[in-house]
Amino acid sequence: MAEAHPGTFENLNHDDLIAEAARHLGAFIAAVKSSFGFEQARISTEDWLEEFILSDILPSTVLHWQQITIAASTRLATRLIQKGTS
CA–CA distance, 82 with 69 (Å, rounded to integer): 20
CA–CA distance, 81 with 47 (Å, rounded to integer): 16
For residue 61, the cross-strand partners are 8
Query: What local confidence, expressed as pLDDT, does residue 8 receive?
Result: 56
Q: What is the pTM of this model?
A: 0.81
Query: What local confidence, expressed as pLDDT, does residue 4 receive?
Result: 43
Per-residue pLDDT of the chain (86 residues; tens, 9 = 90+): 444 445 555 566 778 888 888 999 999 999 999 999 999 999 999 999 999 999 888 888 889 999 999 999 999 999 999 988 76
Query: What local confidence, expressed as pLDDT, does residue 7 receive?
Result: 54
- Rounded to a whole number of angstroms, the CA Rg of the chain reads 14
